[in-house]
Amino acid sequence: MKNFWRILSYARPLGPSAVKYALLTLLYVAFSLVNFTVLIPLLEVLFDQVNVPQAGAIPAPPDFSLTIDYFKSTFYYHFNAIIIEKGRLGALQFVCMVIVASVLLSNVFRYLSAMILVSLRVKVLRNMRNHIFQKVSELHLGYFTEQKKGDLISRMTVDIQEIQNSVTNSLKILFKEPVLVIGYFAILFSMSVKLTLLTILVLPFSGGIISIIAQRLKKRAVQSQESLGRILNMLDETLSGMRIVKAFNSERNIVDKFEKEVKVNERYSYSVLQKFEMAGPISEFLGVFAVAAILLVGGTMVLNQQGDMSASKFMGFLIIFTQVLTPAKAISTSITNINKGLAASVRIFEIIDTKPTITEAPNAQSVEQLKTSIEYKNVNFSYGQEQVLTGINLEIKKGEIVALVGPSGGGKSTMADLIPRFYEPTSGTIEINGVDIRQYKVKDLRALMGIVTQESILFNDTIKNNIAFGLVDIDDSRVIEAAKVANAHEFIINTPEGYETMIGERGTKLSGGQRQRLSIARAVLKDPDILILDEATSALDSESEKLVQEALINLMKDRTSLVIAHRLSTIQNADKIVVIEKGKIIQAGTHDELSTKTGLYKKLLKMQSF
């Protein structure tokens, strides 16, 4: 239930809507009740059970008071007056007019109150979507492992939709129907205490059965959502890795894997839907069971002429009682529904409540430039159990190019990821200008650096916006300047709409070399003091490679660079080469120094025939 209020809190401020809603709902309920209470006089007229009062025998119109009695006596006052004046036919017309008028009014109020819930519902959804997206964007990088991606997407789309469908939909029922039920029962009690008590006996029984079903449903719903997350994950993986799937002839494998998961999902969905469908029939059966019991007892009362139970009054009672069933049924359905939605909300609040592990120190200081150096001091790091970096000590002086080389999986990328605090060392520190980077504002720290990764990360937007990514109010001329430095201007102006060309999802409309030059242009435009560069290993044609190389050299000019190097040219330009193997620095020096010493570097040189 806590989550239910938490969902509602997304529609804050609730006060004004709640007051308006309560008022409109009360009016709606009042007018709906009128419809059924006038049924008894109607039946009396039809069954010829009214005693036509003598003229002059009608009591004076009642004095105004806010009680049911006042409205009842006012109605009967006019009702009697009309019978005297126009006879039974006139009374029939009068009752019909009252019914039409009150149905009209009750439906107008019903619409108005429903609209308040509609705006509440869309507001919850909007605020929730924004909140979860903002939270996700603040989470530390380590959170976004590949396995989590599909699950995250499913939570942010399907689960939110589920909340929209169930919890917010049920609001209507939970806040309106109980008022209706109470109103109906008030009338039933005023008609016959004995019969009404009998009906009440049946309700807890049916409520108990329904809540057992709801509990089971909730459990299955969670399992079903989790399985859906795995399916989405598989979809994402397969769609982006289709080339490999085909190259390895693994279509059958992935289809088998997919079908297996879909089957699991089918089982859970079946179970959820089965319980969902069960709730309706069961409550209906219990309802009719109650009607039969009442028919028996009430019918006996009429036949034996017990109390003041007349046939038309008993029929009125029955009609009103059947009206109780509809909202009661709606309430029980919506309880099962809410459980489905609450299961989804648990998954959403899990994300919202995840604390980012990379946080800013309370009195974090600003940093605007790299003045002296970047220094790793005794840095150790592990992703979970696995030790990835051990005892790293390295100084990168301002203006230097430092190249990291070594076998893949050695820890080079991880080392680079520690500088912008994508991950935090398990022990040891990294300092910039002699100050632990944890002392700096995260935003400032990251503003110091430009990052060009192997895989150029582009967004489905125009070329211009991709280059100016993350920067605001950038002059077109600066974008063009950056593209020129990155050797990208030529190809850009040859695209259909130049800088305004949309590049397609993840830049798929561009070649590998072009994508890289765009990422380089992005880094040039940001003009950072520190450059973190993960050179592409993917094969580019030699023309493209030359352009990319030139662009990189332009980019590194007058900056401090940490390069994960795969190419000879970068390595020869480097002021220092650091050889990393199994998370340790095993050699460091210039190319000339290292290439003459026996060691891993010499071996690598030979192997790659640099």
Alpha-carbon span 459 to 442, nearest angstrom = 24
Nearest to ligand ADP of 62, 599 (CB atom): 599
Alpha-carbon span 60 to 257, nearest angstrom = 83
Nearest to ligand ADP of 383, 459 (CB atom): 383
Q: How far is the CB of 381 from ligand ADP (least distance, A)?
A: 9
Nearest to ligand ADP of 294, 574 (CB atom): 574
Beta-carbon contacts of 514 under 8 Å, excluding residues fewer than 6 positions away, are 488, 491, 544
Q: How far is the CB of 414 from ligand ADP (least distance, A)?
A: 3
**Tokens matching residue 205:** 């029984």
Nearest to ligand ADP of 128, 374 (CB atom): 374
Alpha-carbon span 255 to 260, nearest angstrom = 8
Angle (nearest 5°) at CA 577 between 575 and 579: 170
Nearest to ligand ADP of 37, 516 (CB atom): 516
Q: How far is the CB of 407 from ligand ADP (least distance, A)?
A: 7
Strand order in the sheet with 576-581: 449-452, 530-534, 560-564, 401-405, 576-581, 584-589
Nearest to ligand ADP of 410, 425 (CB atom): 410
Q: How far is the CB of 534 from ligand ADP (least distance, A)?
A: 8
Beta carbons of 573 and 401 less than 8 angstroms apart: yes
Alpha-carbon span 238 to 232, nearest angstrom = 10
Q: How far is the CB of 568 from ligand ADP (least distance, A)?
A: 18
Alpha-carbon span 208 to 277, nearest angstrom = 17
| Beta-carbon count within 10 A of 246 CB | 10
Nearest to ligand ADP of 143, 258 (CB atom): 143
| Beta-carbon count within 10 A of 558 CB | 8
Binding site for ligand ADP (CB under 6 A): 383, 388, 408-414
Nearest to ligand ADP of 386, 473 (CB atom): 386
Exposed/middle/buried for 99, CB within 10 Å: 0-12, 13-18, 19+?
Answer: middle
Q: How far is the CB of 142 from ligand ADP (least distance, A)?
A: 6
User: At 404, phi and psi to the nearest 5?
Assistant: -100, 125
Beta carbons of 550 and 567 less than 8 angstroms apart: no
Nearest to ligand ADP of 410, 513 (CB atom): 410
**Residue in the structure block whose two tokens are 């019903």:** 110
Alpha-carbon span 326 to 288, nearest angstrom = 12
**Residue in the structure block whose two tokens are 């005892």:** 391
Nearest to ligand ADP of 131, 584 (CB atom): 584
Q: How far is the CB of 231 from ligand ADP (least distance, A)?
A: 23
Nearest to ligand ADP of 411, 420 (CB atom): 411
Q: How far is the CB of 383 from ligand ADP (least distance, A)?
A: 3
Quick one: which of 450, 206, 473, 224 has its CA closest to 332? 206
Q: How far is the CB of 396 from ligand ADP (least distance, A)?
A: 17
Alpha-carbon span 419 to 150, nearest angstrom = 28
CA Rg, the chain, in Å?
A: 37
**Tokens matching residue 179:** 């008022």
Q: How far is the CB of 519 from ligand ADP (least distance, A)?
A: 18
Omega of the bond leading into 327 within 30 degrees of 0 (cis): no
Q: How far is the CB of 247 from ligand ADP (least distance, A)?
A: 22
For the chain, how many helices (H) and strands (E)? 21, 10
